[in-house]
Amino acid sequence: MSTNLQVAEQRRGDTPVLSLKGRMDATTSPDAEVQLTRLIEGGDRHIVVDLSELEYISSAGLRVLLAGLKRLKQCGGAMKLAALRPEIQKVFDIAGFNRLFAIYPTLEEALGGGQAG
Amino acid sequence: MIPELITAFIVLFQMMCVVVVFAYLVTRTRFYSEILEGIFSWKNQLILILIFGIISIYGSESGIVILGAPLNIRDLGPMVAGFVGGPLVGLGAGMIGAGYRMTMGGFSAIACSFATILAGLLAGLINLANKRQFPGIVLAISGAILIEGLHMGLVLLICRPLSQAVELVSEVAFPMIAANAAGMFIFAFITLNLENEKRTTRERDRYQAELQRKNAELQIAREIQESFLPASLPSLPGYSLAAESRPAREVGGDFYDVLASPRGRVGLVIADVSDKGVPAALFMALSTTVMRASAAWHQRPRDAVSDANALIARESSSGMFVTLFFCLLDPGAGTLTYVNAGHNPPLLVRKNGEISSLTLTGIALGVEGGALYEERSVDLGAGDLLVLYTDGVTEAEDPSQKQFGEERLAALVRAQRSCTAGEVLAAIQAAVSAHTLTAPQYDDMTLVVLKVGS
């Protein structure tokens, strides 16, 4: 297991995809927050976050994603989460965040723009 | 002529070596430091005058003779004295150097002596103009070059016969200016290094003092935060109750509460604010107060939680949220009515070992202002055990980052179900400690345990 978080960004067409790899906790989450804020302030309104390689998320990580979602919703945007591992999905389920975020089984489906699963 | 020049340069090099040693030793003295810091006393000024006077004498003595005139760094001492200590110190050192030069005689004795006094005085005036600060390297070296140029001018002006003065100046002007500038560079470099060193030390001290102050503040914050938790737990006939919260840092985001309700009912709260440290602690202060007030106002848990959520959501910027479990126990009837707002599901262990979890009935607080919360009820019987916990318990990691886990907690609680609330709490804490060993824990850990029957 890793102790850090790698934040990678790519563009699929017009949509920015933020890939989070490793652990999202109180120490590492600020890195993701910086990237997310930069995208939103850069004018992006629809952001896909690929969580396929995220191993752990704490409440600090949830807070960063929630803050991003709130900001995007305020300006008519949306955030889609893709490919959550079962243990990550469980954290979302416990806090009730599974009803809040649009969660897709795969990155392709998130990019396809269909209904959240 | 050329061998003489080479010898001259070797002698100059030796001089510079001596200057380095002088500069190092002098700058390390208390008196030099005091004056650099702007603390002037008769004693330290007098001592600097003497030290730099001696350096000036050394400058004369170490000189080599070119055409009957000594090429020397006599002016260096008084110049440094002036740059560091102002006109008085420069003048004093200059007069010592000048006095010694007079005793050496020669056709340029008066001009050279006068030039040395002037060097100390002018450097002192530069120090004054620079608000009594040692000038930077560039200013110090430019000053030295200018003053040596002036020295040469004085020789031309005063020494007679003029032809001899012109010959002397044309021979020694460049090496003398260069030698004094080099000496000045050494002094300035070491002095500025010293100032940098002192500044770094000061900054470190200030930083440490700041750190101490912050730690003291955090300690106070911790005490205030502890005061938000119940000072003692009420005694409930027919039940045993135990609770403890351990923040991972000075302040934390976990809290629990035990609230008296009308008709002998008792409210239990456990909650975990997102993230850590001071932001979480401030949000905890808000949430605990809001929840307490809301629980006192409303009869039904779902109304209490809905209202608390509306208030907390209004204050939640930057995505802060609270997972919270609130239940109302009717001790007489043995019923427990609860709302789980996104909190880790508490474990209910029946006397026969059957285990269930009190899962989500609504989203975490602070996320959506208008969120709806359901409430559910369970009946409790003698020997039943209820364990409320925060994720600091189940997510406690061993040195290889393996989490304590919910399965382990469930198994432990099940095995301990015949114990009292206090014993169960202690057993969980001990098991978590044994799991984590020396691994540092990053999350707050809170437990509330209710046992039906003593």
Predicted complex: ipTM over 0.85: yes
- The DSSP 8-state label assigned to residue A103 in this structure reads E
* Residues B280 and B427 placed together within one structural domain of the fold: yes
Nearest to B158 by CA among B197, B107, B118, B96: B107
Q: How far apart are CA A98 and CA B141, in angstroms?
A: 71
In a domain, B104, yes or no: yes
C-alpha span between B220 and B208 (Å, rounded): 18
Which string of DSSP letters, residue by residue, matches B125-169?
A: HHHHHTTT----HHHHHHHHHHHHHHHHHHHHHH-SSHHHHHHHH
> Does A99 sit within 8 Å of B363, measured CB to CB?
yes
For chain A, the maximum distance between any two Cα atoms, rounded to a whole number of angstroms, is 37
Q: Is residue A78 pLDDT above 60, yes or no? A: yes
What pLDDT digit, counting tens, does each position of B59-107 carry? 988 877 655 555 788 999 999 999 999 999 999 999 999 999 999 888 8
Asked if B274 lies within 8 A of A97 by C-beta distance, the reply is: no
- pLDDT higher than 60, residue A12: yes
Cβ neighbours of residue B155 under 8 Å, at least 6 residues apart? Answer: B108, B111, B112, B115, B165, B168, B169
Residue of A nearest to B368 (CA): A100
What's chain A's Rg over C-alpha atoms?
A: 13
CB B256 within 8 A of CB B349: no
The phi, psi pair for B359, rounded to 5°, reads -80, 175
Contacts (Cβ under 8 Å, ≥6 apart) of A110? A48, A50, A80, A81, A82, A83, A102, A104
Same domain? B252 vs B388:
yes
CATH number at residue B71: 1.10.1760.20
Closest CA to A109 of A39, A32, A38, A17: A17
Residues on chain B touching A29 (C-beta within 8 angstroms): 275
Cα B449 versus chain centre, distance: 41
**Chain B neighbors of A101, CB-CB under 8 A:** none
In this structure, what token pair is assigned to residue B369? Answer: 């202002």
Among B142, B171, B205, give the residue marking a domain's end. B205
Q: Is some CB atom of chain A closer than 8 A to the CB atom of B274? A: yes
User: What structural domains does chain A harbor?
Assistant: 5-112 (3.30.750.24)
- Tell me: do B191 and B267 sit in the same domain: no
Domain housing B304? 229-452
Residue B233 forms part of a structural domain: yes
DSSP letter for B396, please: -
Distance from CA of residue A77 to its chain's centroid?
A: 14
What pLDDT score was predicted for residue B99?
A: 95
Contact across the interface for A96 and B277, Cβ inside 8 Å: no
pLDDT value for B169: 87
Task: State residue A72's pLDDT score.
Answer: 93
Q: Judge whether B221 lies within some domain.
A: no
Do B261 and B192 lie in one domain? The reply is: no
Are residues B435 and B404 in contact, defined by beta-carbon separation less than 8 angstroms?
Answer: yes
Residue B322 domain-assigned (yes or no): yes
The answer to whether residue B149 sits within a structural domain is yes
Residue B222 lies in a domain: no
> Contact at 8 Å (CB) between A20 and A7?
yes
| Residue contact A59–B367, C-beta within 8 A | no
B201 and B260 share one domain: no
Inter-chain CB proximity B362 and A93 less than 8 Å: no
Whether B440 and B381 share a structural domain: yes
Contact at CB, B321 and A25, closer than 8 angstroms: no
Distance from the Cα of A61 to chain B's closest Cα (Å) equals 8
Residues of chain B with pLDDT under 70: 1-2, 4-5, 8, 65-70, 316-317, 454
Query: What does the alpha-carbon distance between residue A36 and residue A41 come to, in Å, rounded to a whole number?
Result: 9
Per the structure block, which two tokens stand in for B55? 């350096």
Residues B200 and B281 in one domain: no
Alpha-helical segments (H) within chain A: 29-41, 59-74, 86-95, 107-112
B265 and B188 in one domain? Answer: no
Q: Domain with B296 in it: what CATH number?
A: 3.60.40.10
Q: Which of A1, A64, A93 is facing B319, going by the closest CB pair?
A: A64
Q: How far is B259 from chain A (nearest CA, A)?
A: 24
CB–CB of B367 and A65 under 8 A?
no
- B435 and B403 in one domain? yes
DSSP symbols for B99-112: HHHHHH-STTHHHH
Give me the pLDDT at residue B5, please.
67
Q: What is the pLDDT of residue B432?
A: 95
The distance between the two most distant Cα atoms of chain B, rounded to a whole number of Å, is 124
**CB contacts, 8 Å: A58 with chain B:** 391, 395, 443
pLDDT of residue B91: 96
Give yes or no: residues B259 and B399 share one domain.
Answer: yes
For range A15-26, the mean pLDDT: 93
The tally of domains found in chain B comes to: 2
Other Cβ atoms within 10 Å of A112 Cβ, number: 10
Q: Has residue B220 been placed in a domain? A: no
Q: What is the pLDDT of residue A2?
A: 59
Instruction: Tell me, yes or no, whether B219 lies in a domain.
Output: no
Which of B138, B173, B205 is the C-terminal boundary of a domain? B205
Clarify whether residues B104 and B235 are in a common domain: no
Domain boundary, last residue among B205, B239, B260: B205
Identify whether B161 is preceded by a cis peptide bond (ω within 30 of 0): yes
Residues B252 and B394 in one domain: yes
